[in-house]
Amino acid sequence: MTDARRLTLFAAGLLVALGLGLVVGTAAGPITAARPDVGVVVQGGEVS
């Protein structure tokens, strides 16, 4: 297989992956960054 052919195949693979991701993501429904239900413990290590 030539280099160009391999690169083309890889690029096509990436496009397919992106498309699949989009499809699955859309199907999974809206997910936002904010997660008020998750508790966060922050350990501050500041030196004053």
Partner 1 sequence: MSNIIELDIGGMTCSSCAARIEKRLNRIPGVEASVNYATERAKVELADGATVEEAITSVEATGYSARLREQASTSVAVAGEAEAPTDEASALRHRLIVSAVLTAPVLVLSAIGAMQFDNWQWLALTLTAPVVVWGAWPFHRAAWTNARHAAATMDTLISVGVLAAFLWSLYALFFGAAGDPGMRMGFSLVPERGGGSADIYLEVASAVTVFILLGRWFEARAKKSSSAALRSLLEMGAKDVAVLSDGVETRISIDALVVGQDFVVRPGEKIATDGQIVEGTSAVDASMLTGEPVPVEVGPGDSVTGATVNAGGRLVVRATRIGADTQLAQMARLVEEAQTGKAPVQRLADRISAIFVPIVITLSVATLGFWLGAGAGTELAFTAAVAVMIIACPCALGLATPTALMVGTGRGAQIGVLIKGPQILESTRRVDTIVLDKTGTVTTGTMRLVDVVAGPGTDGDELLRMVGALEDASEHPIAAAIARGARERLGVLPPVAAFTSLQGLGVEGTVDGREVVVGRMGWLAERWSAAPDPVLLAALDGAESAGRTVVAAGWDGQLRGLVVVADTLKATSAQAVRELVALGLRPVLLTGDNARAARAIADEVGIEEVISEVMPADKVRVVGDLQAAGRVVAMVGDGVNDAAALAQSDLGIAMGTGADVAIEASDLTLVRGDLRAAVDAVRLSRQTLKTIKGNLFWAFAYNVAAIPLAVAGLLNPLIAGAAMAFSSVFVVTNSLRLRRFRAVSTTVTPEVQSHRVQAAPRAVTVS
User: Cα torsion at 34, 37, 43, 44 (round to 10°)?
Assistant: 50
Please give the residues from 29 up to 48 whose contact with partner 1 meets the rule CB under 8 A.
29-35, 38-47
**Is the C-alpha dihedral spanning 9, 12, 18, 19 positive or negative?**
negative
**At its nearest, how many Å lie between partner 1 and the CB of residue 11?**
10
**At its nearest, how many Å lie between partner 1 and the CB of residue 46?**
6
Which residues of the shown chain bind partner 1 in the complex (CB under 8 A)? 3-4, 6-7, 10, 13-14, 17-35, 38-47
